[in-house]
Amino acid sequence: MKNTQILVVDDQINTLKVISAILHDEGYNVLQSKSGHDALEVFKSRNDVDVCLVDLKMPYMDGLQLFRRMKEYRNPPPFLIMTAYGTIQSAVQALKEGVTDYILKPLDFDAMILSLQRAIQEGQTCDQAALPSDPPSADGERRSFHQIIGSSEKMKDIFTLVKKVAPTDAPVLIYGETGTGKELLAKAIHQESLRKDAKFISLNMPALTESLLEAELFGSVKGAYTGATVDKKGYLDVADGGTLFLDEIGRINFCFQSKLLRFLEDKTFEPVGSTETHHVDVRLIAATNLDLHSEVKEERFMSDLLYRIEVVPVFIPPLRERKGDIHLLVHTFIEKYAYKYTRDVYDITKKALDLLVQYEWPGNIRELENCIARTVILASTTTIEPQDLPPKIQALEKERENEKSQRDIITNLPREGVQIQKMEAELIEKTLHKYRGNKSLSSEALGISRKALYEKIKRHGINTLKE
């Protein structure tokens, strides 16, 4: 039992201290968390937690909710819940979901130690076989990967690719729109690599002028330029032995591209104002929201540099192409910001979630996170409703109702009467205009077949050439 790591979670600080002191006296290593959110972060960042001892009743995220969230990341270790007599029914529900055991409050510390010993022994003997399987073991689904949340096929393919590429030290170029999580993916590659214990250094290249960028990357010596009063280490020296992430590499000019290429050819450079050559061992990961192959054709990016940095390309899909992940992201952000802003918001209605899925998210995950943060702050109840969402997303509900009304009108129109025929023609013209002449989208919006739409266009003499 020595060196066993116990994660103790209780929002009552005095109780947390007492339990921790008793466990220390028994020879256990103790990690303390005063909330479910903090405990989840500890669990995600470590692989050495042997058993969890968690209070059931806590604000924002209770013990059972913590257990469920842990399961979304990986199979939790033996999990014991502390509960009062009044919440035994909740404890029984927790056992049904896979929690190892529950301990009654007020605590009998001798009984608590025995329960912990039994849970640890069972965990070591059965390799936690008594706990319910996480979805990955049941159907191959991964819900998160180094804090990247997603269970869609596209994201699972990316996780698999990262696993293969990370240990090779090959340069990786990450393509993705703004807000898709390119830096988070770069960090995942670093964490999966042999360099994970060394530094991960990130540099946002467009944020700096060329001269400042050169000094930041390569370093500088005293007197190299106005204001250089001391020698300064560059990002390359700082990242030596680790990983350097160059964000938005497609937006640097030709002159600096050539300097970067020169470094990549032999991993040597000279700090600004110095003739001393430095050699570093750095794994390079770059990212861009541009099509660099098109940039090469337009002579805005050096082909030789592209070949150097794009040994392995990784394409992160925009959120609109992985909408199946939105529900996971939404619940994660609700949890995060309810805790951060001390708001009693725990869930979201299906109607509100459907609107979030319907929205196209041009700003991707960054925009979604910002939306949920705002909504959590302004929500009027513990569950997010459509009226709590930003106006641009609420408008989708009215648009959907209008389209339904249009479908109802056109499918129920009688086939006689000049006025009725005129209304039908106007509705078809309006719909074609909205969808820029696209017959498939127009017929779908009108609730009729494409063939029927063509017949109506012909019957009414609607000119579609101008669309």
CB 81, CB 64: distance < 8 Å: yes
Angle ∠(407,411,417) on CA atoms, nearest 5: 120
pLDDT in tens, 271-288: 988 889 999 999 999 999
Name the residue among 269, 370, 360 with its Cα closest to residue 329: 370
φ/ψ region of 265 (left if φ > 0, alpha if ψ in -120 to 50, else beta) reads alpha
> Helix, strand, or coil here: 283?
strand
| pTM of the entire predicted model | 0.61
More confident residue, 228 or 307: 307
DSSP label at 386? G
* Residue type for position 157: D
- pLDDT on residue 83: 86
Distance of CA 368 to the CA centre of its chain: 10
- pLDDT on residue 420: 66
Angle ∠(284,289,291) on CA atoms, nearest 5: 95
Name the residue among 237, 245, 235 with its Cα closest to residue 173: 245
Structure token pair of residue 211: 């001269």
Name the residue among 187, 165, 206 with its Cα closest to residue 313: 165
pLDDT in tens, 38-95: 999 899 888 888 899 999 989 888 898 899 888 877 778 899 999 876 666 777 778 8
The end-to-end CA distance of the chain, in Å, is 76
Enclosing H/E stretch for 9:
strand 5-9
Relative to beta strand 200-204, strand 347-348 is unpaired
pLDDT in tens, 415-438: 455 566 777 788 888 888 777 788
